[in-house]
Structure 1
Amino acid sequence: MSDKPLTDTQFSTLDLHPALLAGLEKAGFTRCTPIQAMTLPVALAGRDVAGQAQTGTGKTLAFLVAAIHRLLSRPALAERNPEDPRALILAPTRELAIQIHKDAMKFASDLGLKFALIYGGVDYDKQRAQLQSGADIIIATPGRLIDYVKQHKVVSLHACEMCILDEADRMFDLGFIKDLRFLLRRMPARTERQTLLFSATLSHRVLELAYEHMNEPEKLVVEAETITAARVRQKLYYPADEEKLPLLLGLLSRSEGARTMVFVNTKAFVERVARALEKAGYRVGVLSGDVPQKKRETLLKRFQQGQLEILVATDVAARGLHIDGVSHVYNYDLPFDAEDYVHRIGRTARLGAEGDAISFACERYAMSLPDIEAYIEQKIPSEPVTQELLTALPRPERVAPAEGEDESIGEIFKEAREQRAVDDAKRGGGRKRRRGGREGAGNAQRETQPQGERKPRPARPATNENPASTAEGQSAPRKRRRRRRKSGEGMAEVAAPATTAPAGLTRGKPTQPAQPEAKPSLLTRWVRGIKSLFSSGT
């Protein structure tokens, strides 16, 4: 089906379930990629796998084939209820979970297995109903799934005989490790289930997770020569901060018609860069945490269909998205993490094609460059920023989109803010809303009185235990705390009396009672005794 790096191993030689093999052939999958050829013989035998492979190497198909073959070939556990899942696939991001589900539907939609896609940002009740009706395979992000697991009547993992962890290193980066352990502890023991783990890097922390929750996993590593990044032409510029946007526009105008992704480090710059590109006449989509999930899916679909020329994104879109035909990737901001750099440029040069990755090492993010070059074990070729490149070439006139098809960046973010406000209102308002409400009420009360006119506070009676000060601008003293003092008869509780200042005088500190003479210390008494002995001897 693809010109992805393939081996001589064919799926037909792997003794797969006949229905699964027919689905693969119908979808055009005949030969294995290196990670598939390494993983499937081990996984199909029922053994655990810890695999290292970059995105774009075919690992998604590898673990999907292994999971589906197991469910079609083996009976479910005896203690399983009809609605309980038999396999669980966990992904760190919504986009990756959606992509895994889409890949599964290419060849497994007619195999009689029920799939459930569970992730945040969409209708909670609809997903709960989907789980309650039963699913053989759940594809989920950890956070949303835990919500349903804690509601024991929604889903139970006690009969889950297969667990797959995709992008395990990213799970750590996003802080999901506690969630992973929570879910793994609610599955059958590691000797009674099969676990497959895949990661871009098998770091110490990933291997620690593997050995803690897996049953003697076999470590499989795809050599660096076979990863997608080897076919990416990398280029580096050193612009000043104010030159980044003109340089981006200049370079884009010299690759007219290319499907392009632009990566930035913050959500604020997604909107800023997207607005500038839209103003320059480009059809632009955005992917960031500020954009609602449904809108992100719509924009991503339009980009895949070629209706949008450029997609501006944060690292939320850097992993797991299978977008065909992306020829150019721009790192408008160099990422802080070297692994994120590899995953960003991995959006191009997919399916065996070539691509261009262009990075801007500006004053703010150039500090990441040494770590990136050390990680990829090569120096990125650099080119000078010339005045010619800072000048965008004239663009040909584009056909105006049909009414209702083109949505401006301003409208997208306006809708996102309105949706966030609605969600906050449903949850009873966020922390800022509650604090703002109290402050707003106080401001409203203050605005009812003219500035400079204040009602005098009523004077407290002189017999009050803690009277207000009569001196202007001086606050009343705090109430004295009761404390224990040593007295001649032992420990007695003494309270400082609250005295009342004479009328017309400013109240000072309350008068303190006379302190009893302190009892001399043991050392003092000992020295005095020695002195008395010497004096009596003389």
Structure 2
Amino acid sequence: MKFTELNFPESVLKGIEKAGFVDLTPVQEESIPLALLGKDVAAQAQTGTGKTAAFLLSLFTRMLANPRETSNNPRALVMAPTRELVVQIVEDAKILGAFCPFKVQAIFGGMDYDKQRQALRSGVDVIVATPGRLIDYARQKVFSFDSVEALVIDEADRMFDMGFIKDLRFILRKLPPVEKRQTMLFSATLSHRVMELAYEFMNLAEKVSIEPQQVTAERVEQILYHAGRREKFPLLLGLLKKDPGAERVLVFVNTKREAEHLAERLQANDFKAAVISGDIPQNKRMRILTDFKEGHLTFLVATDVASRGIHIDGVTHVINYDLPQDAEDYVHRIGRTARAGALGKAISFADEDLVFHLPDIEEYIGQKIPSAFPEDDDFCWDYKRSPPRKRAPIPEKFGAGARKPAARRGPPRRKP
């Protein structure tokens, strides 16, 4: 089905044309007609399948059909689990809604507190938000939920995984009754807990389930190398030097410490690399992601928790430098490449410690990952070591070579 076959307003069709969309994806074909009829929708679909466009186009069409009365309070609310996903949804909304008279505002923590607060006071039509800061503004009565006529919960399963479900329930209880608003829920899995949320806060939701033909993306070329822990870095350099198409590489490790160490080694060998970790300030985090999107960085090294919600087109390679301990994380990781119909490559290293997680991963994805033992010419042993980390300075009162006096043990001596 093509977008022109659906009953979209002219201004929405212009946004679709600007985005370059022609044919509907399966989740769009199933969910959009239901949403245009005003029905609540609970849809199961993997990330990268076009669900963002599905709910944005439905929201804009609904709002255009029912012009609102004068009010500064939002008409629609989109809830997402991560800041990066919020930013991505707003960017998509600016393109698809370029010819619609709606103001879309991102609300998330870590930066722009007063700026976001003032934007809400000035009046917005659509809020795209993570739960925490939105609740903060609501409690300050910066805005009201009373005028919300449409709600979208994106990546509902991640809301549970990341501990946001209590905050989400708080927000849902503040909204108008289910009979007075339309609700759309999208999730990678419609598990029991997700459907329980749908039964409680949705009005007889129509269930849409788009099962992928296979768990992992079809256009991802997968390969796994068996290598020792000390061989992984020279193997990484050797493989990438032999592959000139490695232009934007997302590298996954299991710990923040390993992420920092790996990024330092890449930088020491003249590769443009940066780390995404949970404790990086939000403005710096956004700057790193922008640099990666625009090609100023070749490598982005991330842990699973820090990478939630990273949706970047054009990632040519995903490297599982550390094999994930959770089988589901493997699918999440390699799904960062081969987006929007592009090709992608996923390279995994199984060392002597993490190889024990391989059977669970292959059972989960329902296939054997093509594997190999690297040849001698796959390694690059001629590389620079990262500089040693600086030690904490010695307090001046002890001197450069002095040792801190040992604490006296036992009770103090008494004078005779």
Q: Which bracket does the TM-score occupy, shorter chain normalised?
A: 0.7 to 0.9
1:385-424 aligned at under 5 Å gives the runs: 385-391=374-380
Q: Name the CA distance, whole Å, in 2 between partners of 1:48 and 1:391.
A: 55
Tell me the residue number matched to 1:167: 155
What is the deviation of 1:335? 2.4
2:148 is paired with a residue whose SS is: coil
Q: Cα distance 1:451–1:97, how it changes in 2: closer, same or farther (>3 A)?
A: closer
Tell me the residue number matched to 1:520: none
Q: Cα distance 1:392–1:310, how it changes in 2: closer, same or farther (>3 A)?
A: farther
Aligned: 1:220 with 2:208:
yes
Tell me the residue number matched to 2:221: 233
Rg larger for = 1
What is the deviation of 1:91? 0.8
1:144-159 aligned at under 5 Å gives the runs: 144-151=133-140, 153-159=141-147
What is the deviation of 1:89? 0.6
1:330 is paired with a residue whose SS is: strand
The counterpart of 2:366, out of the listed 363, 372, 377, is 377
What is the deviation of 1:107? 2.4
The counterpart of 1:82, out of the listed 71, 89, 94, is 71
Q: Name the CA distance, whole Å, in 2 between partners of 1:372 and 1:192.
A: 44
Aligned: 1:31 with 2:23:
yes
Q: Name the CA distance, whole Å, in 1 between partners of 2:191 and 2:347.
A: 28
Amino acid of the structure 2 residue aligned with 1:43: A
2:371 is paired with a residue whose SS is: coil
Q: Cα distance 1:368–1:216, how it changes in 2: closer, same or farther (>3 A)?
A: farther
1:82-481 aligned at under 5 Å gives the runs: 82-151=71-140, 153-225=141-213, 229-258=217-246, 259-316=248-305, 318-391=307-380
C-alpha offsets along residues 101-130 of structure 1, whole Å, 9 cap, x if unaligned? 111111213411011101111021111111
1:315 is paired with a residue whose SS is: coil
Amino acid of the structure 2 residue aligned with 1:295: K
What is the deviation of 1:172? 0.8
Is the 8 Å Cα contact of residues 44 and 209 (structure 2) preserved in structure 1?
yes
Is the 8 Å Cα contact of residues 215 and 331 (structure 2) preserved in structure 1?
no
What is the deviation of 1:322? 3.6
Tell me the residue number matched to 1:51: 43
C-alpha offsets along residues 143-200 of structure 1, whole Å, 9 cap, x if unaligned? 111111222x212212211111111111111011111111100001122211111111
What is the deviation of 1:223? 2.9
Structure 1 alignment gaps of length 5 or more: 1-8, 396-408, 415-448, 458-471, 473-538
Q: Name the CA distance, whole Å, in 2 between partners of 1:378 and 1:227.
A: 9
Q: Name the CA distance, whole Å, in 2 between partners of 1:278 and 1:109.
A: 40
Q: Name the CA distance, whole Å, in 1 between partners of 2:216 and 2:51.
A: 13
C-alpha offsets along residues 269-327 of structure 1, whole Å, 9 cap, x if unaligned? 22111111111221112222132211222222222222211111222564543422222
TM-score relative to the length of structure 1 = 0.69
What is the deviation of 1:452? 6.6
Amino acid of the structure 2 residue aligned with 1:159: S
1:72 is paired with a residue whose SS is: helix
Q: Cα distance 1:276–1:12, how it changes in 2: closer, same or farther (>3 A)?
A: same
Q: Name the CA distance, whole Å, in 2 between partners of 1:165 and 1:319.
A: 16
Is the 8 Å Cα contact of residues 251 and 392 (structure 1) preserved in structure 2?
no
Is the 8 Å Cα contact of residues 245 and 316 (structure 2) preserved in structure 1?
no
Aligned: 1:13 with 2:1:
no
1:116 is paired with a residue whose SS is: strand
Identity of aligned residues (%): 55
2:204 is paired with a residue whose SS is: coil
Q: Name the CA distance, whole Å, in 2 between partners of 1:121 and 1:322.
A: 19
Amino acid of the structure 2 residue aligned with 1:192: K
Amino acid of the structure 2 residue aligned with 1:132: R
Amino acid of the structure 2 residue aligned with 1:71: M
1:326 is paired with a residue whose SS is: coil
Q: Name the CA distance, whole Å, in 2 between partners of 1:227 and 1:24.
A: 29
Q: Which has the higher contact order (CA 8 A, sep 6+)?
A: 2
What is the deviation of 1:341? 1.6
C-alpha offsets along residues 55-108 of structure 1, whole Å, 9 cap, x if unaligned? 1111111111111111111144x7xx7121111111111111101111111121
C-alpha offsets along residues 472-520 of structure 1, whole Å, 9 cap, x if unaligned? 9xxxxxxxxxxxxxxxxxxxxxxxxxxxxxxxxxxxxxxxxxxxxxxxx
Aligned CA-pair RMSD: 2.8
Q: Cα distance 1:194–1:385, how it changes in 2: closer, same or farther (>3 A)?
A: same
What is the deviation of 1:208? 1.4
TM-score relative to the length of structure 2 = 0.88
Amino acid of the structure 1 residue aligned with 2:152: I
1:504-523 aligned at under 5 Å gives the runs: none
Is the 8 Å Cα contact of residues 271 and 299 (structure 2) preserved in structure 1?
yes
- How many residue pairs align between the two structures? 397
2:213 is paired with a residue whose SS is: helix
Q: Name the CA distance, whole Å, in 1 between partners of 2:341 and 2:412.
A: 81
Is the 8 Å Cα contact of residues 324 and 330 (structure 2) preserved in structure 1?
yes
Tell me the residue number matched to 1:22: 14
Is the 8 Å Cα contact of residues 214 and 365 (structure 2) preserved in structure 1?
no
C-alpha offsets along residues 338-372 of structure 1, whole Å, 9 cap, x if unaligned? 33221211111112122111112234433432332
Q: Name the CA distance, whole Å, in 2 between partners of 1:310 and 1:250.
A: 15
Q: Name the CA distance, whole Å, in 1 between partners of 2:377 and 2:206.
A: 54
